[in-house]
Amino acid sequence: MQGRLTWVAIVAGVVLLVLVTAAIGNRDDGGETVSAGKWAQSVCGAVGVWRGELEAIVEDVRTPSSVAPGVEEPQSETPQGRTGLVRSGLERAIQATETMVEGVDNAGVPDTAAGTEAADQISSWANGSLNDLDQAEDSLDEEADTLEEAVEQLGSALGAIGSVMANGVQAIADVAITDPELADALRDSSTCRQLREEAGEA
Amino acid sequence: MDWLLVALQGLVVVGFIALGVRSGGIGLGLWGGVGTLILVFVFGLDPGEPPTSAMLIIIAVISAAAAMQAAGGVDYMVQVASQALRARPKALNFIAPYVSYLLTILTGTSNTFFSIIPVINEVAYANKIRPERALAGSTVANALGITSSPVAAAMATLLPLVEIYDYDLIDVLLITIPASLVGIFAMALVMSRHGTDLEEDEEYKRRVAAGEVQPPAAAADIVLLPYAKRSVAIFLAGVAAICVFGFVEGIRPTVAAEGGGVEPMSVTPLIQMFMLTAAALILVFCHVRAGDIPGTAIFKSGMVAMIALFGIAWMADTFIANNEDAIVQLLGDMAEKWPFMIAVAIFLVAALTTSQSAATRTMVPLGLALGIGAGYMIAMWTAVVGVLFLPANGTQIAAAEADTTGTTSLGKRVVDHSFQLPLQIAWIVTALVGIAIVWIFFGGHTPAPPAPTPTP
């Protein structure tokens, strides 16, 4: 009886957790008009998280798995992760970029004169990054005729990650130029400030 | 992706885990090996990686603990702990989980827990406490320590994701540590009343009647061997050294980094080195004969746990390595559709991939992209303790094998193992308390958007 009550309490706990999460709410403003400050906060947040993921991916590709921190959990690593580092890095980068596109789309449209254009510009850059990485992954599928070609393929694939990463901060800076009203919001937002600092460090 | 095929493979894994837990002992590992064979030969999957690091750690830790037992050190620890707990023996159900939690915080890996499993078991048994209460609770608390450890791999994965929202390591620890402390307390409270008392347990009575286990000796009746204290000192010094080197990265020996330069050695080989050294020192300074070590109860149960882990974890990794993307995609889609299910999705990804790092790097960015506040995501991130949902982890298997009374079990229907109840209590309470901490002390959602400033 006591055991059954405990399990009832656990189910109630899960329901409570789901309800609390629902009450916290998510911030899906996709398609809606939001304040410039809120938009800047969301977009820079999404781009910043994405940069963090790409940094981790680059670190994983650089570091051999035998000493990488990720192997502290013995059952967690996959053979793909061990042997196809570049490919799995690209796959993870694509996944991270898809998540970033989702975050950018959820940010909505800033309520400035050129807000729609700004949102489109960022969304277009995000989707473009996804295409670039998709293409880089496809290029790895083509069989290389020579060793030189194979090395070039790997170089191009890694270069694609570096290129979309560098373009992220630039895309936001471009929006600030085309929409002066957004420039203040992008300057004052804490996530944008953090993003600028991290990009500066890099 | 052929979902029917994935489901069939999943059924094979669950089926062989079920067969293994019914067989018990090394049967778990043997059936796991059969499952791996079927996944590879029938379904054509690439074989996964056997859990080599965990197995080697078990060998090293068990060598040290068994040497200590041969020197009488375990008896001494039981005596000391029994005296300390004389007024309240049941306090063990609370103290043991917090000690295991602390060990993980200090070393960043749950593998250190292997070293205290035999001690917790012996102390519980000597005090006639149902070992399951302390062992299962400690195993869960130990896994929960990963999200409270500044040196854990999962923490290294999380930090770059939340730094953009002004959450640094200290902020994360200010959320996860208090939440985990409360979660562990709630879990220990329930576990201290869980199940019948040891002397009324049917399986235990059967084992005693069959002579499979001897009734516990009273602590006062234990006759200590001459070097018992010394062996404990050596063993604990080994554990302390692991904690120090685990926590302070800068003092670890360096190894060549792939990208050039050097970097600190990982904790895993350090555990193996220190534990083997402790065992060797016990041999020399406590006058233990090497031949006596394999005859100890700790050595036997440890070796059985290692074989069990070998087969089961290999089978699980074979399934996961080939299907991880599909699992993450499925649960990611669920979270996108119903963002309020994000905590449950994190728990399930951890459960089905048995990796805290994988659950962190796939689900936390998704939650943030869905607009859930970074602080709340940190609170819900503690759900990565879901790695214990299936009984395929080394610490679970080792704890169940160490408990000769049979109260700590891996279940009969895969999910009805001894760790399920404490796991569910711990993750739910920890996540809820974490959310409350964020709400009260971190101002709710993500940092507020800046106030509009006039453009000159």
pLDDT digits (tens, 9 = 90+) for B47-76: 988 888 888 988 999 999 999 999 999 889
CA of A123, closest CA in chain B: separation in Å?
14
The values of phi and psi at residue B51, to 5°, are: -75, 65
Minimum CA–CA partner of A45 in chain B: B164
Stretch B412-437: mean pLDDT, rounded?
Answer: 93
- Nearest CB partner across the interface for B452, out of A36, A75, A102: A36
Distance of CA A101 to the CA centre of its chain: 7
Identify which has the larger pLDDT, A62 or B315.
B315
Identify which has the larger pLDDT, B111 or A143.
B111
Residue B10, class by beta-carbon neighbours within 10 Å (0-12 exposed, 13-18 middle, 19+ buried)? middle
- Cβ–Cβ gap B445/A24 under 8 Å: yes
Which positions in chain A touch B394 (Cβ < 8 Å)? 74
- Nearest CB partner across the interface for B258, out of A21, A56, A64: A64
Asked whether this complex has an ipTM greater than 0.90, the answer is no
Three-state DSSP class for residue B362: helix
Reduce the secondary structure of chain A to three states and give it as a string: CHHHHHHHHHHHHHHHHHHHHHHHCCCCCCCCEECHHHHHHHHHHHHHHHHHHHHHHHHHHHCCCCCCHHHHCCCCCCHHHHHCHHHHHHHHHHHHHHHHHHHHHHCCEECCCCHHHHHHHHHHHHHHHHHHHHHHHHHHHCCCCCHHHHHHHHHHHHHHHHHHHHHHHHHHHHHHHHCHHHHHHHHHCHHHHHHHHHHHHC
- Put simply, whether B46 touches A (Cβ < 8 Å) is yes
Query: Does A71 score more than 60 pLDDT?
Result: no
Query: Does B176 score more than 90 pLDDT?
Result: yes
Identify which has the larger pLDDT, A150 or B397.
B397
Query: Does B334 score more than 90 pLDDT?
Result: no
Q: What is the pTM of this model?
A: 0.84
- The structure tokens listed for A151 are 């090395």
Query: Does A66 score more than 60 pLDDT?
Result: no
Gap between the Cα atoms of B135 and B125, Å rounded: 11
- Put simply, whether B325 touches A (Cβ < 8 Å) is yes
Residue B158: closest CA among B338, B349, B356: B356
Residue B53: closest CA among B111, B7, B99: B111
- The pLDDT value given to residue B449: 45
- The pLDDT value given to residue B131: 95
Query: Does A144 score more than 80 pLDDT?
Result: no
- Cβ–Cβ gap B371/A106 under 8 Å: yes
Handedness of CA B112, B116, B120, B125 (dihedral sign): positive
The pLDDT tens digits of the residues spanning B68-117 come to: 999 999 889 888 888 887 778 889 999 999 999 998 998 888 888 888 89
- Cβ–Cβ gap A48/B362 under 8 Å: no
Query: Does A151 score more than 50 pLDDT?
Result: yes
- Cβ–Cβ gap A27/B343 under 8 Å: no
The pLDDT tens digits of the residues spanning A73-132 come to: 444 333 334 335 677 778 888 888 888 888 888 888 888 888 888 888 888 888 888 888
- The pLDDT value given to residue B447: 47
- Put simply, whether A11 touches B (Cβ < 8 Å) is no
Query: Does B456 score more than 70 pLDDT?
Result: no
Identify which has the larger pLDDT, B214 or B445.
B214
